[in-house]
């Protein structure tokens, strides 16, 4: 309605819109769009010490067919998918449960709980990585002693150093740190559920449990979708920091915690005697971009449209 009425009148030159848009557009173009285009371009070339030549999509073929690259790529991709699934199955349900509890009006001390749950999110990843490495250290950590007191001493394992448990351990550390973000999003969404709807449900005879399942949850589904896609993007990009700070660039043991981020780091910048290859690095980066893009597109076109119908 607003749009059609403004079109019938002579539009004033709203130059100030440009002024407001300029800083964000400029900064975004220089620091995000240009680098993305530049790495897409780099991924189409091969260079050695003296020459650079255009090879088309050969680098991508190499990435998924040459054993050295393909093994690493699929391993990193698999770990990323596992990481995503574990976050969806563990982090988001915990966040939802905590948010549901926090939004109970009669709960005392909700503000303190909220702060406590959110605090780890504010810590630097390096600090979190360092603290947890110490806590879990078989040499200096508190975990072995603590478990001994509880009579569980035999169950202690150097989890970060075992292939079978390293990835899940890193995931749990990441969940510990970041559970606050989905928690806050769910919490805000739950607070927005109109009181009249809840009252009507109660009058119809639903108890607290069913009010949550039948009324609150459907109403916050869009937030659930949003958290899902944020988790997806975060797992492909932010997982690098934590894994690099805890397990190092080789993402040990035996690459069991290697994700796209650490793989990208090793290919672009090199690692120890392995020299970096900026073209293959850019190829990995571009592949990562396409993976994220695919996920986000599925969400935008497949999921979000259906979700929004609930809103009205």
Written as one string, the DSSP assignment of 155-207 is G---GGG-TTTHHHHHHHHHHHHHTHHHHHHHHHHHHTS-HHHHHHHHHTT--
Residue matched to tokens 């120890």: 272
CB of 269 to another protein, least distance (A): 5
CB of 287 to another protein, least distance (A): 18
* 45 within 8 A of 52, measured Cβ to Cβ: yes
Q: Is 157 in the site for another protein (CB under 8 A)?
A: yes
Cα–Cα distances (Å) from 308 to 183, 193, 231, 300, in that order, read 21, 15, 20, 11
Binding segment for another protein among 4-12, 42-50, 86-94, 104-112 (CB under 8 A)? 42-50
Q: Is 202 in the site for another protein (CB under 8 A)?
A: no
How many other C-beta atoms lie within 10 A of the C-beta of residue 114?
17
List the x/- string, 54-73, binding to another protein by CB under 8 A.
--------------x-----
Among 50, 47, 87, 44, smallest CA distance to 181 is for 87
Binding segment for another protein among 16-24, 87-95, 216-224, 263-271 (CB under 8 A)? 263-271
Q: Is 16 in the site for another protein (CB under 8 A)?
A: no
Q: Is 167 in the site for another protein (CB under 8 A)?
A: no
- The kind and range of the H/E element at 271 are strand 270-271
Among 6, 25, 47, 297, binds another protein (CB under 8 A): 47
Q: Is 208 in the site for another protein (CB under 8 A)?
A: no
Q: In the window 77-136, what residues touch another protein (CB under 8 A)?
A: 133, 136
Binding segment for another protein among 138-146, 210-218, 226-234, 299-307 (CB under 8 A)? 138-146
Taking CB atoms within 8 Å and a gap of at least 24, the contacts of 191-196 are 191/103, 193/219, 193/220
Residue matched to tokens 């971009």: 289
What is the total count of residues that contact another protein (CB under 8 A)?
A: 36
Q: Is 46 in the site for another protein (CB under 8 A)?
A: no
Nearest CB to another protein, comparing residues 137 and 237:
137
Among 63, 76, 102, 160, binds another protein (CB under 8 A): 160
Q: Is 253 in the site for another protein (CB under 8 A)?
A: yes
**Residue 103 half-sphere exposure toward CB, CA atoms < 13 A:** 25
Return the DSSP state at 213: I
What is the Cα–Cα distance from 213 to 207, expressed in whole angstroms? 10
Backbone conformation region of residue 193, classed left if phi is above 0, alpha if psi is from -120 to 50, else beta: beta
Nearest CB to another protein, comparing residues 68 and 209:
68
CB of 120 to another protein, least distance (A): 22
Catalog residues that contact another protein under the rule CB under 8 A.
47, 49-50, 52, 68, 133, 136-140, 144, 156-163, 247-248, 250, 252-255, 269-276, 278
């Amino acid at each position: 309605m607003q749009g059609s009425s403004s079109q019938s009148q002579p539009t004033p030159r709203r130059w100030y819109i440009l002024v407001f848009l300029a800083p964000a557009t400029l900064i975004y173009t220089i620091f995000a769009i240009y680098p993305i285009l530049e790495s897409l371009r780099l991924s189409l070339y091969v260079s050695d010490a003296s020459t650079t030549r255009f090879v088309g999509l050969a680098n991508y073929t190499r990435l998924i067919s040459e054993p050295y690259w393909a093994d690493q790529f699929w391993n990193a991709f698999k770990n990323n998918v596992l990481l995503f699934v574990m976050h969806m199955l563990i982090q988001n349900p915990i966040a939802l449960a905590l948010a549901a509890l926090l939004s109970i009006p009669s709960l005392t001390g909700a503000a303190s709980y909220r702060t406590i749950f959110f605090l780890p999110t504010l810590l630097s990843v390096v600090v979190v990585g360092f603290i947890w490495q110490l806590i879990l250290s078989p040499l200096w950590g508190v975990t072995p002693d603590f478990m001994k007191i509880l009579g569980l001493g035999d169950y202690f394992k150097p989890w970060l150093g075992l292939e079978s448990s390293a990835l899940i351990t890193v995931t749990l550390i990441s969940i510990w740190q970041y559970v606050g973000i989905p928690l806050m999003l769910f919490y805000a969404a739950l607070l927005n559920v109109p009181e009249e709807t809840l009252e009507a449900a109660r009058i119809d005879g639903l108890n607290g449990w069913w009010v949550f399942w039948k009324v609150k949850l459907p109403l916050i589904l869009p937030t659930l979708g949003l958290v899902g896609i944020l988790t997806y993007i975060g797992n492909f990009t932010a997982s690098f920091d934590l894994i690099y700070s805890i397990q190092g660039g080789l993402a040990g043991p035996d690459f069991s915690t290697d994700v796209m981020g650490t793989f990208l780091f090793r290919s672009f910048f090199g690692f120890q005697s392995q020299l970096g290859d900026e073209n293959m690095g850019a190829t990995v980066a571009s592949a990562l971009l396409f993976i994220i893009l695919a996920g986000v597109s599925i969400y935008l076109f497949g999921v979000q449209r259906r979700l929004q119908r609930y809103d009205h």
